[in-house]
């Protein structure tokens, strides 16, 4: 699976939009991009998944350019409760061989007042 | 609808001992994966069970073994504990093996090896 690279940490203030970019240069045709959020001492929580262009749900947007070598997670109007680690993952979309998730070290987002 | 549950919440063992951790998947899910998360690191995949069989395995020694029961619940066993086994052990469940299927994580079991 493609290796992902994302910033180690980011700081923001309440009410701002936060964009976290992830690079995955070796992404394959059948790979999807998935983002998880993790709070201390809790399990990761799925945020959003996409293949190309733009995906939006109630908590975030995911922007994927045509070459799919990078992706950007956008969190609109963050609050203190968005302080967490955010992981970018590349996941094989289909197949019965299994769907293990390969996590990197993630991006620690800190939101302040 | 209960999500993924794990037991126990915390556990303290000494080197050389054996430990068993338990996981009940989210209702309707049939696939269970186990991850180890050391402090400050991302979760590392241990193995995955589907239809009571180990389907994928990460880079973990044979001291780590598991089992899935007919009701889809699962156990993780670790023998001959080492200090380095101290970590948060996470269980995740999904419906089937496709990568497009969202995985739901439990709160984890914090294992401390002294």
Domains of chain B: which residue ranges? 5-113
Q: Determine the pLDDT at residue A36.
A: 96
Segment B3-10 shows an average pLDDT of 96
Interface touch A49/B100, C-beta < 8 Å:
yes
Q: Determine the pLDDT at residue A94.
A: 57
Tokens standing for residue A46? 């799925």
Segment A80-87 shows an average pLDDT of 97
Higher pLDDT, B97 or B53: B53
Q: Determine the pLDDT at residue A97.
A: 67
CA distance B82 to B15: 5
Tally: H helices and E strands in chain A: 0, 9
For residue A93, what pLDDT band results from cuts at 50, 70 and 90?
low
Question: Which chain B residues contact residue A97 at CB under 8 A?
Answer: 55-56, 97
Which of B48, B56, B107 is the closest to A42 by Cβ? B107
- Phi and psi at B85, nearest 5°, equal -80, -5
Question: Which chain B residues contact residue A28 at CB under 8 A?
Answer: none
Neighbours of B54 (CB within 10 A): 14
Evaluate if residue A91 carries a pLDDT over 90: no
Residue partners of B62: CB distance under 8 A and separation at least 6 = none
Strands B53-57 and B74-78: unpaired
Neighbours of B5 (CB within 10 A): 15
Question: Could you tell me which CATH number the domain at B5-113 has?
Answer: 2.60.40.10
CATH superfamily of the domain spanning A9-93+107-112: Immunoglobulins (2.60.40.10)
Q: Give the residue on A whose Cα is nearest the Cα of B92.
A: A43
- Own/partner pairs, B62-66, CB within 8 angstroms, 24+ separation: B66/B34
Q: Determine the pLDDT at residue A95.
A: 61
What are the boundaries of each domain within chain A?
Answer: 9-93+107-112
For residue B113, what pLDDT band results from cuts at 50, 70 and 90?
very high
DSSP H or E stretch at residue B56: strand B53-57
Q: Determine the pLDDT at residue A62.
A: 98
* β-bridge mates for residue A72, sequence order: A21, A63
CA distance B80 to A107: 34
Segment B71-86 shows an average pLDDT of 98
Q: pLDDT (tens digit, 9 = 90+) per residue, B20-69?
A: 999 999 999 999 999 999 998 999 999 999 999 999 899 999 999 999 99
- Chain Cα centroid distance, residue B6: 9
CA distance A29 to A39: 31
Q: Tell me the average pLDDT of chain B.
A: 94
């Amino acid at each position: 699976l493609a290796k992902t690279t994302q910033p180690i940490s980011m700081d923001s203030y309440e009410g701002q939009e936060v964009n976290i970019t992830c690079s995955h240069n070796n992404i394959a045709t059948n790979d999807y991009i998935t983002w998880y959020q993790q709070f201390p001492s809790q399990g990761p929580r799925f945020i959003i998944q996409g293949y190309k262009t733009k995906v939006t749900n109630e908590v975030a947007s995911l922007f994927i350019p045509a070459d799919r070598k990078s992706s950007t997670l956008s969190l609109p109007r963050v609050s203190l409760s968005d302080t967490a680690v955010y992981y970018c993952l590349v996941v094989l979309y289909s197949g019965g061989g299994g769907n293990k998730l390969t996590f990197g070290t993630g991006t620690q987002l800190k939101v302040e007042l | 609808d209960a999500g993924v549950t794990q037991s126990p919440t915390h556990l303290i063992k000494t080197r050389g001992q054996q430990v068993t951790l338990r996981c009940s998947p989210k209702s309707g899910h049939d696939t269970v994966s186990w991850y180890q998360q050391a402090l400050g690191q991302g979760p590392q995949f241990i193995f995955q069970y589907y239809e009571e069989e180990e389907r994928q395995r990460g880079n973990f020694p044979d001291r780590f073994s598991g089992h899935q029961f007919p009701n889809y619940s699962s156990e993780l066993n670790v023998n001959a504990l080492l200090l380095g086994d101290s970590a948060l052990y996470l269980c995740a469940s999904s419906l089937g093996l496709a990568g497009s299927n969202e995985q739901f994580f439990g709160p984890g079991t914090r294992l401390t090896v002294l």
